[in-house]
Amino acid sequence: MPLPEFTGTLGVKRAAHLLRRATFGATKAQIDNFSTLNPLQAIQQLYRQALPATPPPIDPDTLEPWVISGITDPEKMEPAYIDFFKQWFLGQMMSAGVSTALTLAYSAREKLVFFLHTHFTALAEKINSSRALYFQNQLFRLYALDQLLSPVVPYEKLNFKELTIKISVDNAMLRLLDGYLNVNGSPNENYARELLELYSIGRGLENTLPPPTGAGDYILFTEHDVQQAARVLSGWNFDDSFANFDPDTQLPRGIVRGTAANASAHDNGIKTFSNRFINPGTGQPWVIQPDVALLNNGQPTEASALDEIRQLIDMIYAQEETARHICRKVYRFFVYHQITSEIENNIIAVMADTFRANNFKLQPVIENLLRSQHFYDAASGNEDDKFGGIIKSPLDLVTGTLRFFDIRVPDMNTQPQEFYAFTGAMNAALETQGMFFYQPFDVAGYDAYHQYPVYNRSWITVNYLTNRYAFIRNLINVDGTGPFTLNVYNYVRNNINNTLAANSRDLVTELVRYLFPWADNLTFDPGNDDTATITAERLNYFLVSFLSDIDPNPEAAWTTRWTTETGIGTMTSQLQNLFNALMQSPEYQLH
């Protein structure tokens, strides 16, 4: 049975919560629209829409889609093209060039693409190929919505398990984890180790497994299993021509050493695994061996090498812990990093059952989670607080802020220079806040998504927090010269109900409802805020920051200015103070 679902109307708080977690941000109008929906209707709008094709990145100087053609500007080095790729992906997250009606669905798909990137990591400097990064990104995009019919991938092969097979011979992954160096007689175990430890079965839920029996025992697998998996994965090379296409995805993949008819560097021997992998059909440790029907006079072929990889992934996904490990990654990405025994038994186990029951398709798991009572704190007796439980990544802070204020990315095809200036500024903002996009510190990925016990708290240091606040300050106190331009007076005039905006207290509480993850039972009366999620003292701080002391009766003066539309310069300055106070706050760093 799936997780019990919440069936009520979302309202503003729950709609904003869903859109913060499932997309890269929403405007106030989009939050208002989703507030009238129930979770089933909302998920339909996010994950069940026909989306436009994703245009490939272009070189802004030559206008050439180099990732497809392979034609590059001789005056540019590969790092420049890697930067273009990263900035292009940021543009996709912002739904650049997409019609307003589809921006949220497009963004939701891109959030799933990003999730897959956090799981199957990429380090741009090590891979050193913008084309390999792009085609891996496109691979993730094909598999992101695996419950929908694909115009390319056969439906029965559209699932996370199949993606694990594809990623094992993906050019970017072959380069990242030295798979191209793994040959018969001289195995390289890097990818085999990370396939087991990071990408599939994992190392178990922290502090719940028995101690190892000795060196090389990782409880769920052993060093022997790593060695045998490396033999299975041997014989592949990085294909810098990008001319070897996967028949299912129509995307370039790695190529076997030798030829398709003679995969000469593949270990063709029998691989026997430890007793951590018992074949239910035989009751004995799992054995992987080449299919004789696929051999060429007893020699390995591309087809036989691929078949062995499929056998390996079948073996790994036959273990219950594999589904649980992947579902924990989903839970930590969308809900919260801490997984208690109660969460493990009542939530993760159910998610894993859904994952297996749907042939390892990830979309049904995510959709059920985002419709669940658990996600919305709607279950009876639920005392967990999902709202505001995650520190925003620099990516969520930057994209979410720009999206809320409907600050749009210039069109890549008609304004390529402006497009890359905008997304380049976004990437620079991420770096100053501690997120080196496509360059995490190690192959496990960005610490916030995996590093026990710190997780998302790794985003916050004194310097990074200062730079988060500087990003907001530079956006709000705009001088008109930067790539991000926000006129706060025009924003309030165009987006906030005029009656609410004319009352300074109502304006503060209205903005808090949309900018903060919780805003229940708000009051400016300190004697009446026992049930409020933000104290009256805090609200009054925002009010004072907003109005300052420029008038004898500041609240009445604000109302007069707003209703008569006089003193726009003064009102703009006051609103800049208000937005800075709200958004340079600990509360705004959470979602």
Q: Where are the alpha helices (DSSP H) in 195-255?
A: 223-232
Checking if the pLDDT of 118 tops 80, the result is yes
Tokens of 331: 């839970």
Q: Average of pLDDT values for 71-98? A: 97
Checking if the pLDDT of 477 tops 90, the result is no
DSSP 8-state code for residue 392: P
Angle (deg, nearest 10), helices 78-93 and 130-144: 20
Question: Tokens 């220079």, residue?
Answer: 417
Q: Where are the alpha helices (DSSP H) in 415-503?
A: 416-432, 462-476, 488-495, 498-502
Query: Average pLDDT, whole number, for the chain?
Result: 96
Checking if the pLDDT of 56 tops 80, the result is yes
Q: What does the alpha-carbon distance between residue 101 and residue 83 come to, in Å, rounded to a whole number? A: 29
Tokens of 86: 């990263």
Q: What does the alpha-carbon distance between residue 357 and residue 365 come to, in Å, rounded to a whole number? A: 10
Q: Give the pLDDT confidence score for residue 209 in this predicted structure.
A: 86
Q: Where are the alpha helices (DSSP H) in 239-378?
A: 302-317, 320-334, 341-343, 349-357, 363-371
Residue 346: half-sphere exposure toward Cβ, Cα within 13 Å: 11
Q: Measured between alpha carbons, how far apart are the two ends of the chain, in Å?
A: 29
- The SS3 of residue 579 is helix
Of the pLDDT bands very low, low, confident and very high (cuts 50, 70, 90), residue 49 is: very high
DSSP H or E stretch at residue 78 = helix 78-93
Q: Give the pLDDT confidence score for residue 1 in this predicted structure.
A: 86
Q: What does the alpha-carbon distance between residue 326 and residue 94 come to, in Å, rounded to a whole number? A: 27
What pLDDT, in 10s, does the model give residues 335-355?
A: 999 999 999 999 999 999 999
Tokens of 513: 């409802």
User: Is the pTM higher than 0.75?
Assistant: yes
DSSP 8-state code for residue 184: T
Q: What does the alpha-carbon distance between residue 80 and residue 374 come to, in Å, rounded to a whole number? A: 44
Least confident of 24-28, 362-366, 549-553: 549-553
Q: How buried is 2 (Cβ within 10 angstroms: 0-12 exposed, 13-18 middle, 19+ buried)?
A: middle
What pLDDT, in 10s, does the model give residues 276-297?
A: 999 999 999 999 999 999 999 9
Tokens of 143: 């598999």
Q: Give the pLDDT confidence score for residue 207 in this predicted structure.
A: 87
Q: How buried is 294 (Cβ within 10 angstroms: 0-12 exposed, 13-18 middle, 19+ buried)?
A: middle
Of the pLDDT bands very low, low, confident and very high (cuts 50, 70, 90), residue 112 is: very high
Contact status, residue 148 vs residue 159, Cβ threshold 8 Å = no
Of the pLDDT bands very low, low, confident and very high (cuts 50, 70, 90), residue 548 is: confident
Of the pLDDT bands very low, low, confident and very high (cuts 50, 70, 90), residue 479 is: low
What pLDDT, in 10s, does the model give residues 206-232?
A: 988 888 888 999 999 999 999 999 999
